Structure 1
Amino acid sequence: MPASTRLAHRVAELHGCSRADAEQYIQNGWVSVDGQVVESPQHPVDAQRVELHPDARVEPVEPATVLFHKPVGVDAIAGTDPASSHVTPATHWADDPSGQRILQRHFQRLTPLVPLEKDASGLMVLSQDGRVWRRLTEDADQIEHEYLVEVSGEIAPYGLHRLGNGLEYQGRELERCKVSWQNETRLRFAIKAARQGQLQAMCAQVGLEVVSIRRLRIGRVPIGKSANGAMPPGAWRYLPVGEKF
């Protein structure tokens, strides 16, 4: 019986590659032990069957960024039902266009970014990538978000113009934004630097009550659509390589 050794060492021996390349193969999910993918280079093996996927390629171990369609009632960060607990292999959107293979390491240390209020739904970002974190925190006020806001009531005269120009919230004058009617009860906002409660307060200033809020887009990144329709609430997809906010 072969002596127990680290998986990376066994892969390097079997396939004539360097230890560093073997570790990258393993961390990217290309190596299986007795038919089960193992992502830890330190995993001990002895007589088990170790196989390298025929499509395996040496590539950097990239951090994952997840785009999640948060349902109403799910907590963005803290709380009894955080968004991160809903990001599992079982809830991966079947029509995810990224082509990214699901790896167990993608579900570790996901940081929720640009959170939504509990009673709002729509696009949320969870990421392991420091570059995405910096973009969505340090440049947050420069990134436009798009919301679909269902309202009730009768809008005040010139209310649509007022929504887009010069309202105040919490003692500060708001920047201009783009607001339009999608239908008789739904407004579409394209707005930067919106704070918690701001959309509700803006609508209240023109005689409208907010019924629901759904975020459709962050910067250039939308929830996502396919031939089968939009990504449904509770599902997630990967941010494709090269797609930026």
Structure 2
Amino acid sequence: MSDPIRLSKRLIELVGCSRREAELFIEGGWVSVDGEIVDEPQFKVSTQKVELDPEAKAIPPEPITLLLNQPAELNSESALPTITAATLSEEHRYGKRPLKGHFLRLSCAAELQQGASGLQVFSQDWRIIRKLTDDIAKLEQEYVVEVSGDMVEHGLNRLNHGVKWKGRELPAVKASWQNETRLRFALKNPPPGLLAQLCASVGLTVVSMRRIRVGGVSIGKVASGQWRYLSSKEKF
């Protein structure tokens, strides 16, 4: 029985690559140990079968962006530990393989309002983070708001053209009924409390609110508490 050695060292022995190339192959998810992808160069192996994917490329992994359907009881800090390979959306378990490196160095961008559920964005990509930091005031966000009460006459028209609430002018928004108890709001960078104020101005009380879109990116068919990868075709 041979003594365990680092996976990167075993790969160097097998394919004759450099140490840096070995680390890049492993961190990129191109190396399997007994058929299972391992993306940690320091992983110890002994007699296991180590294989390098024929399509392997020794390049740094692309930074990723994750879209979480965050439950209302969590915030970005408490939600981050729940993002694992096991909570990847069932409908999105194809294409990109979850790697341990995908769950490191994630930053939250376009923070959800307190008490809201829905689309929360976590990213390793400085370009995405800068976009959602610098341009957040320009990006339309869409919320589905569960309400109770009876809307005042012409309330929907008032929401779409601007209303007053306690002597304060509230901005005009795009508002429509999704069903008998849910309103859809589309608006730019809503400050905390604005959705509740808009609803109150037309006689309604907010029961819950869920963000479903930021800019051109929607959460899609992702169950609460699960996440998916942002695809290369999606743009905020």
**Superposition TM-score, scaled by structure 1 size:** 0.83
> What's the Cα RMSD here?
2.7
Secondary structure of 1:39's partner?
coil
Q: Name the structure 1 match of 2:53.
A: 53
Please identify, of 203-212 and 12-21, the stretch whose mean Cα deviation from structure 2 is larger: 12-21
Q: Name the structure 1 match of 2:222.
A: 231
Q: Name the structure 1 match of 2:154.
A: 158
CA distance in 2, matches of 1:136, 1:170: 32
Secondary structure of 2:76's partner?
coil
Shift, 1:212, TM fit: 1.4
CA distance in 2, matches of 1:244, 1:143: 11
Contact kept in structure 1, 2:136 and 2:189, CA below 8 Å: yes
Shift, 1:50, TM fit: 2.7
Q: Name the structure 2 match of 1:147.
A: 143
Q: Does 1:240 align with 2:231?
A: yes
Shift, 1:159, TM fit: 1.9
* CA spacing shift, 1:22–1:139, aligned 2, 3 Å: same
CA distance in 2, matches of 1:232, 1:43: 33
Contact kept in structure 1, 2:114 and 2:192, CA below 8 Å: no
Please identify, of 141-150 and 92-101, the stretch whose mean Cα deviation from structure 2 is larger: 92-101
Q: Does 1:29 align with 2:29?
A: yes
Q: Name the structure 2 match of 1:219.
A: 215
1:68-217 superposed matches below 5 A = 68-73=68-73, 75-78=74-77, 82-96=78-92, 99-167=95-163, 173-217=169-213
Secondary structure of 2:190's partner?
coil
Please identify, of 38-47 and 124-133, the stretch whose mean Cα deviation from structure 2 is larger: 38-47
Shift, 1:172, TM fit: 7.2
Shift, 1:187, TM fit: 1.1
Q: Name the structure 2 match of 1:227.
A: none
Q: Unaligned stretches of 5+ in structure 1? A: 225-229
Contact kept in structure 2, 1:93 and 1:236, CA below 8 Å: yes
- For residues 23-46 of structure 1, the C-alpha deviation after alignment (integer angstroms, 9 at most, x for no partner) is 221111111345553323344656
Amino acid at match of 1:240: S
- For residues 33-90 of structure 1, the C-alpha deviation after alignment (integer angstroms, 9 at most, x for no partner) is 45553323344656654321344334431122111111232x2224xxx111221111
CA distance in 1, matches of 2:226, 2:9: 38
CA distance in 2, matches of 1:231, 1:132: 21
* CA spacing shift, 1:155–1:28, aligned 2, 3 Å: same
Contact kept in structure 2, 1:147 and 1:190, CA below 8 Å: yes
Amino acid at match of 1:214: R
Amino acid at match of 2:104: Q
Q: Unaligned stretches of 5+ in structure 2? A: none
CA distance in 2, matches of 1:157, 1:110: 46
